[in-house]
């Protein structure tokens, strides 16, 4: 790591600088943007290379599969800094412009994290109406030569082969986001193993945020009864 990169990382960890801002949603980062059958985008190189090792160290040490609600006590400083950048109203505002959601940054959001995937995860589904926009930031250094675990947006709920856009390998620094509609089908083919991702969803109301947080705490207690292998 260069001296300049070291200074930048220290500044990010100390909370003095964002990891990224709206600039990562500009054309030089944009891999794909479409509005049919629903608004969806892919961006790359969202995260600096200098954070690869700190993020790996700071990611929660979950032992079970599934998404877990963000808990500052389980996350190191670089992961907390990334979440702050995702939650930044300016970043959300630019994302909303691209996906056709004015003032997205004014909506409440909820953050969840995943480390492990099991065979039944990723089934084709549509998000509930409480979600307005969902975004996924991937953190995996490598990925096998397979479509398993690769995020797909779909034209219907019948088959993973009915892709509406290129699939997204969950590699470090790749970012995917979509607007929830009545036909925003998505998921990923089955994959078993480590699959690190930070998910943020902007919601229709504070009441929905509080409801989801309460459900997340309950789900966490249930998952604590089981161990992933």
Q: Write the pLDDT tens digit of every residue in 31-53.
A: 999 999 999 999 999 999 999 99
Query: Tokens standing for 137?
Result: 């930031």
How confident is residue 220, by pLDDT bands cut at 50, 70 and 90?
low
Range of lowest pLDDT (93-102, 170-179, 184-193, 203-212): 203-212
How is the chain split into domains, by residue range? 22-223
User: Residue 219: what pLDDT?
Assistant: 62
pTM of this structure = 0.90
User: Residue 3: what pLDDT?
Assistant: 39
Q: What is the mean pLDDT of residues 181-198?
A: 98
- Supply the mean pLDDT for the chain: 90
Q: What is the number of helices (H) and of strands (E) in the chain?
A: 5, 9
User: Residue 4: what pLDDT?
Assistant: 38
Kindly state the percentage of the chain with pLDDT values over 90.
82
The secondary structure element, H or E, covering residue 49 is none
3-class secondary structure, 103: coil
> Distance of alpha carbon 65 from its chain centroid, rounded?
16
How confident is residue 17, by pLDDT bands cut at 50, 70 and 90?
confident
Q: What is the mean pLDDT of residues 12-35?
A: 88
CATH of 22-223, one of 3.40.50.2300, 1.10.10.10, 2.60.120.620, 3.30.300.30: 2.60.120.620
Please state at what angle helix 77-87 crosses helix 89-99, rounded to 10 degrees: 50
Q: What is the mean pLDDT of residues 141-150?
A: 96
User: Residue 223: what pLDDT?
Assistant: 56
CA distance 66 to 70: 13
């Amino acid at each position: 790591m260069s001296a300049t990169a070291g200074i930048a990382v220290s500044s990010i960890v100390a909370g003095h600088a964002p990891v990224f801002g709206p600039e990562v949603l500009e054309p030089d980062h944009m891999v794909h943007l479409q509005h049919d059958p629903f608004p969806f985008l892919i961006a790359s190189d969202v995260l600096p290379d200098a954070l690869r090792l700190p993020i790996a160290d700071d990611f929660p040490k979950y032992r079970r599969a599934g998404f877990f609600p963000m808990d500052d006590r389980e996350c190191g400083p670089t992961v907390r800094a990334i979440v702050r950048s995702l939650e930044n109203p300016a970043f959300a505002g630019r994302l909303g412009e691209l996906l056709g959601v004015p003032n997205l940054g004014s909506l409440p959001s909820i953050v969840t994290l995943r480390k492990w995937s099991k065979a039944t995860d990723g089934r084709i589904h549509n998000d509930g109406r409480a979600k307005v926009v969902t975004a996924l930031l991937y953190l995996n250094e490598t990925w096998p030569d397979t479509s398993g675990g690769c995020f797909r947006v779909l034209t219907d709920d019948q088959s993973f082969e009915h892709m509406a856009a290129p699939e997204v390998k969950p590699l470090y620094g790749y970012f995917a986001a979509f607007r929830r509609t009545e036909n925003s089908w998505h998921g990923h083919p089955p994959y078993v193993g480590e699959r690190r991702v930070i998910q943020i969803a902007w919601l229709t109301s504070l009441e929905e945020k509080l409801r989801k947080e309460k459900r997340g705490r309950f789900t966490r207690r249930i998952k604590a009864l089981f161990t992933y292998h």
